[in-house]
């Protein structure tokens, strides 16, 4: 790094290139392609501003379907969008 406290453009570019490489390795290291398009219980609880147990309760009540064979639970984005649309429609009709 130069004597100035701010990184040079080359240093910033190098850091970004390393980060892109790390992310690429993470994506390609997944065993199942569909995992790239999934959310965990924690990610869903953050997205919906719920506690993780509330998300698990939706699974137990069969309102939300996780991918089979994965523990901890993982949810496809398709399933997340289906549930969000269903709960939005339900809220409009005076449900939940």
The structure tokens listed for 36 are 């790239």
pLDDT tens, position by position, 3-15: 667 889 989 888 8
Q: Has this prediction a pTM greater than 0.95?
A: no
- Between CA 27 and CA 57 the distance in angstroms is 29
**DSSP class of 76:** E
pLDDT at 89: 75
Rg for the chain, CA atoms, rounded: 20
The structural domains of the chain, with segments of one domain joined by +, span: 34-83
| Range with the poorest average pLDDT among 16-25, 29-38, 56-65 | 29-38
Q: What are phi and psi of 76, to 5 degrees?
A: -70, 155
pLDDT tens, position by position, 39-90: 999 999 999 999 999 999 999 999 999 998 878 899 999 999 999 999 887 7
């Amino acid at each position: 790094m130069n004597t100035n406290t701010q990184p040079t453009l080359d240093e910033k570019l190098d850091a970004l290139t390393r980060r892109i490489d790390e992310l690429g390795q993470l994506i390609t290291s997944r065993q199942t392609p569909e995992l790239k398009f999934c959310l965990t219980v924690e990610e869903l609880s953050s997205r919906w501003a719920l506690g993780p147990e509330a998300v698990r309760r939706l699974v137990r009540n069969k309102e939300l379907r996780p991918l089979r064979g994965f523990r901890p639970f993982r949810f496809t984005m398709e399933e997340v969008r289906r549930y969000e649309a269903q709960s939005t429609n339900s809220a409009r009709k005076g449900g939940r």
